[in-house]
Chain A
Amino acid sequence: GQQLNQSPQSMFIQEGEDVSMNCTSSSIFNTWLWYKQEPGEGPVLLIALYKAGELTSNGRLTAQFGITRKDSFLNISASIPSDVGIYFCAGQLGSNYQLIWGAGTKLIIKP
């Protein structure tokens, strides 16, 4: 089936650092979504992207829909302890009702 390659798998960061993660595919997507999941909870939608080249922010989070429509990026500026969790990308192809999911990036704050 279709796959999204999400990287990195995990990140150890210092509080205050900026964070970058991305998702890539060989397929062209119409929509990119970024979610965050905290332990014991369901994923929560952070940012939705609908146009190639689109750059959208949500507080300290900024996501971009790649120009080629085959990738997307999420940046977190000045990380804080509550940013820890697993971040997932998801993409939508054609007119399919389903989303294709990345395997997640686990964000861990160094003590």
Chain B
Amino acid sequence: DAGITQSPRHKVTETGTPVTLRCHQTENHRYMYWYRQDPGHGLRLIHYSYGVKDTDKGEVSDGYSVSRSKTEDFLLTLESATSSQTSVYFCAIRAGYSSYEQYFGPGTRLTVT
């Protein structure tokens, strides 16, 4: 257990509304990641963070923004949700400087109607 929680676990929202997903970790890991998972696409990286206020884009960052004001929290925001952003969102942490192992949270299922 890597001490990662995600909230909410499920959310239904309407097109055009803003949505923020939260990832919280308790073990002071420097690197945090947001992925989305869709059938046929596996896991795709949205954004990642390598420290407080240090973030960078991943493969599918359009329409998403992130913030990390504290080590333990990494927030993913959909400024104006679209139906194409209906997905399962996973947060992950990287285990340490010398390890590329990532450990995942339980996921958030987001439905945009």
Q: Mark B90-109, 1 if CB is under 8 A from A, else 0.
A: 10101000011111111100
B104 close to A42 (CB less than 8 A)? yes
A33 close to B42 (CB less than 8 A)? no
User: Which B62-113 residues sit within 8 Å CB-CB of chain A?
Assistant: 90, 92, 94, 99-107
Does more than half of chain B's interface fall in helix, strand or loop, or is it mixed?
strand
Q: Chain A: how many interface residues by the 8 Å CB criterion?
A: 21
Closest residue of chain B to A104 (Cβ to Cβ) is: B42
User: A61 at the A/B interface (Cβ < 8 Å)?
Assistant: no
- The contact size tier of chain B is 20 to 34
Chain A residues with CB below 8 A from B103, complex form: 45
Q: Mark A28-55, 1 if CB is under 8 A from B, else 0.
A: 0011010000001111110010000000
Cα(A41)–Cα(B106), bound, Å? 5
Cα(A99)–Cα(B50), bound, Å? 14
Closest residue of chain B to A48 (Cβ to Cβ) is: B101
Closest residue of chain A to B41 (Cβ to Cβ) is: A103
Cα(A45)–Cα(B42), bound, Å? 15
User: A65 at the A/B interface (Cβ < 8 Å)?
Assistant: no
User: B43 at the A/B interface (Cβ < 8 Å)?
Assistant: yes
- A residues near B (Cβ < 8 Å) are 1, 30-31, 33, 40-45, 48, 88, 90, 92, 97-99, 101-104
